[in-house]
A and B are shown apart, each in its own frame.
Chain A
Amino acid sequence: MSSETVNSAAPGARSSVRAVIQSNLRDYGLVVALLAIMVFFQFTTNGTLFKPVNLTNLVLQNSYIIIMALGMLLVIVGGHIDLSVGSVSGFIGAVAAILMVEYGFNPLVAGVLCIMLGGLIGASQGFWIAYLKIPSFIVTLAGMLVFKGLSLAILGGRSVGPFPPEFQMLSAGFIPDVFGPIAIPQGGAAPITLHTTTLVIGIAIVVAMIYFSLTSRAARERHGYEAEPFALFAVKTAVIGALILFFTYTLASYRGIPNVMVVMSILIALFVFITKMTTLGRRIYALGGNAKAAQLSGIKTERLTFYIFVIMGALSALAGLIFAARLNTATPKAGQGFELDVIAAVFIGGASMAGGVGQVAGAVIGAFIMGVMNNGMSIMGVNIDWQQVIKGLVLLGAVVFDVYNKNKA
């Protein structure tokens, strides 16, 4: 995931494939773990996991966790924690329901208001954390209780729904097929209809990915900086490309790309960009790595912390909207326990409790690992209690692997 650790070998010497793999063990390990878990469940569920319907479901089920994991990554890299995200998302779902169902607000207006409210909630928590130096664990623990209580209060204990159809489209809709479907005859069986637009997008993404990684590689070499060995680069790109094609093909053979996935992908891309390429991202890593040194380097650490929580609040709100749209009602229980999945995803993805370390890609893969396990175990009929036990052990295992790896180095 980070192209930079690749260069930690002695300058001049071209780094060997083995050295590169070794120094990126964590990153590759995570991807391999996800693939292994997927293959495992593909077998144990007799091929249900990769069925187009199920894969689509997997995306829909995990989108809100992933969206919150993006914000949580910033929070944790910045050296904090946010326990309130589940409650906040539930609360926002409730507010959205009241606005749309009871007061007949236009879904778009209500959605924007809700996300702004989420930002405001983040700001109100961030204020205590950033400026008054109250530990985030405590502030957001309080926030968790407060917003859990508030959703109960405004819903009066009932469920409110259904939402207007336009709003439901957020979680139940798919992108339109502007090119029109194509049908592939299957001999005697019913033909497979493919969502052409989805295929085109998939191919476009792969082409763009190859183009950009080749040009940035060339730029490095032109300036005399070594890049990773070509063989490794080629294999990596080929594997990722193949995965994207397989994934979009599977989606295309169902109903195409879900609307949420568009939202989610844009956000993931945005957060990868922020954390890797912007000064904002760099400052967050510096803050988490050594807050005092960051402050003495001229970084406005308090304002930065404040904004991190504003972003987290807005993303929790978005996640709350998606979840409400998916259930098509707002219930007082919505969002409960989400914070645990979100935080677990970020830590499985390699972030460090102490701050300063963590990658967006890791958090997303971590969320998918949790999601595939949830999904796979449900299909297998594993009881919810044992699901919890297994998820807990996986989280522990991932972090132990991390710490062990670090000590060995």
Chain B
Amino acid sequence: MSKTILEMRGITKTFPGVKALQDVNLDVVEGEIHAIVGENGAGKSTLMKVLSGVYPHGSYEGEVVFEGNECHFKGIHDSEKVGIVIIHQELALVPLLSIAENIFLGNERARNGVIDWAEVRNGARKLLETVGLDEDPDTFVTHLGTGKQQLVEIAKALSKKVKLLILDEPTASLAEKDSNALLDLLVSFKKQGIASILISHKLNEVSKVADRITVLRDGKTIETMNRAEISEDRIITSMVGRPIEDRYPARTPQVGETLFEVKNWVVHHPIHTERQVIKGVNLNVRKGEVVGIAGLMGSGRTELAMSLFGRTYGHAISGDVFMNRKPVDTSTVRKAVDAGIAYVTEDRKTYGLNLIDHIKHNVSIANLLGVSRGGVIDDLKELKVANDYRARTNIRSSSVYQLTGNLSGGNQQKVVLSKWLFADPQLLILDEPTRGIDVGAKYEIYTIINKLAGEGRGILVISSEMPELLGICDRIYVMNEGRIVGELAGDEASQEKIMRAIVRGEGKTA
């Protein structure tokens, strides 16, 4: 066994009203990939923030020992100095700086304060080669997709002589191909003696690459498994505290008449206005039906949803929308909501929540008329609504007065869902509803979806996780490059058939 480089002993961290970590232990040996898994709010990100000095020494109890020395980090700078680099759940790149500038940000290659551009570019080029990113170092980061930005983050970490790399849900918003590239990269780092801590909710990838897995539950260490002991079932049991037989709750679909229909939907790019992003889409959802839209990243699914929802994306939009066979106007969000449509965004932090306000105000904001009379809000009614939905969607928080910015990802998602459930839509469009969410919470969200369908509502789910679509949908549309290229009934769909539809679609456009 190689030597231990990191030991965290008896870490306890409290926030007002919450004990986020309680006597947590973690050790990492040289050159291993150590995964940390646990439900939303289990304390994974908090533990990493303790380790990297985001929460400075003194704001928690317990000790952090790195390479034999006890560490008292005052901030991220201190931890980076000894070779611990964290890549946060939210990427921290400056969009309007180039790749090279971002890589050396705070660590500039300069002599007497004057930047040596040649060295910056060369250095950047070398690092990009190491991480396998084929881009010009002068490209602005804003022009890169999430997958590539992730690689830039890693290049940035490598520029700092990293010994321990921490990745907090790096693959949450990556397409499968990009995820695999990133995981391969981590594996290749092992040879150079760089250890990684990987936090992820995607259990299949964790079980593929991790050497050891530590499970957290409710702020406590449950166990650390060795390579030989790892299996997805075992991880789940340990995470949730009980075995989960089925990852998708059972449902008997009761599909009724057509509820929602889109005809010849065409959308142009908001900046490059001559380019069509959605090229004549037709689709429908029936009452009580759960319909999925499968496709690769960039196939135009989010653009389709947002253009339908109050034209919040796109330019020169044309086509018709029908609800209950009657044409409806969805040209503003308000009109779309009034027509009975709700859209749960894929990016809950930027588009879904007011993070500096509490759960109660976030739940009521899309349906203020439902808690007010004559423009005056009935505080008690609002409180009752918030408490109801908190219970219904099982939001874990100290009360409805907790700021949504302090909730874990899964609970934030449940707040967004609650907001739209309270608006009482007939059609609910869910965009990546389970991104970054643990198995238990996923199950809860599927249960909510089923219940809504059972009430006769239509559900349209966009997801990049094919097993999820296969598990919950009655019907699946396959989208590629702005077109619907296939439609499969839920019981006859398979990953293979979906992929085949995508490939066939590609042949058509070429």
Q: Which residues of A contact B (CB under 8 A)?
A: 4-5, 7-11, 23, 219-220, 223, 225, 277-280, 282-283, 285-286, 289-290, 292-300, 356-357, 409
* Total contacting residues, chain B, CB less than 8 A: 42
* Nearest opposing residue in chain A for B59, CB measure: A408
Residues from 430 to 453 in B contacting A, C-beta threshold 8 Å: none
Given A7-B399, A279-B369: A296 and B351 interface contact (C-beta under 8 Å): yes
B377 CB contacts on chain A under 8 angstroms? 277-279, 282
**Shortest beta-carbon distance from A276 to chain B in Å:** 8
Most buried by B among A225, A282, A357: A282
Contacts of B354 in A (CB 8 A): 285-286, 289-290, 293-294, 356
Q: Is the CB of A8 within 8 A of B361?
A: no
Q: Are A290 and B353 in contact, with the CB atoms below 8 A?
A: yes
The smallest beta-carbon distance between B357 and chain A, in angstroms, is 5
Contact indicator A356/B333 (Cβ below 8 Å): no
- Complex CA–CA separation, A220 to B381 (angstroms): 11
A-B contact pairs, 14 of them (CB 8 A): A8-B399, A9-B399, A219-B380, A278-B372, A282-B365, A282-B368, A290-B350, A290-B354, A293-B350, A293-B353, A294-B354, A294-B365, A296-B309, A296-B310
Our count of residue pairs bridging A and B at CB distance below 8 angstroms stands at 105
| A298 close to B17 (CB less than 8 A) | no
Complex-state Cα separation, A278 to B375, whole angstroms: 5
* Cα(A189)–Cα(B361), bound, Å: 59
Return the chain B residue nearest A292 by Cβ.
B351
Assess the A10–B17 pair: CB atoms within 8 A: yes
In the complex, whether B282 has a CB less than 8 A from a CB of chain A is: no
A279:B333 contact, CB within 8 angstroms? no
The residue that B355 contacts in the complex, of A5, A290, A297, A300, with Cβ under 8 A, is A290
**Known contacts A8-B402, A298-B337, A356-B357; is-contact A279 B366 (Cβ 8 Å):** no
A225 to B369, CA, bound (A): 23
Q: If the complex has contacts A8-B17, A279-B377, are A297 and B357 also in contact, measured as CB distance less than 8 A?
A: no
CA distance A356 to B423 in the complex (A): 23
Neighbouring B residues of A23 by C-beta, 8 Å = 16
Do the beta carbons of B333 and A10 come within 8 Å of each other? no
Contact B352 A296 (CB under 8 A): yes
Given known contacts A8-B398, A290-B350, A296-B333, what 15 new A-B pairs fall within 8 Å (CB)?
Answer: A8-B358, A8-B399, A9-B399, A11-B399, A277-B377, A277-B379, A279-B369, A279-B375, A283-B368, A289-B355, A290-B356, A293-B351, A293-B352, A293-B354, A298-B333
Please name all residues of chain B whose beta carbon is closer than 8 Å to the beta carbon of A286 when the two chains form the complex.
354, 357, 361, 365
Q: Chain B's nearest CB lies how many Å from the CB of A120? A: 24
How far does the alpha carbon of A23 sit from the alpha carbon of B17 in the complex, in Å? Answer: 11
Contact B366 A298 (CB under 8 A): yes
List of A residues within 8 angstroms of B372 by Cβ: 278-279
Name the residue of chain B whose CB is nearest to the CB of A296.
B351
Chain B nearest CB from A369 CB (Å) reads: 24
Q: Does B384 contact A (CB under 8 A)?
A: yes
Question: What 10 pairs across the A-B complex have the smallest Cβ distances?
Answer: A289-B354, A297-B366, A279-B368, A298-B337, A8-B401, A290-B354, A298-B333, A298-B334, A297-B365, A11-B399
A240 to B446, CA, bound (A): 51
Q: CB within 8 A of B361: which of A277, A282, A409?
A: A282
Distance between B96 CB and nearest chain A CB, rounded to angstroms = 17
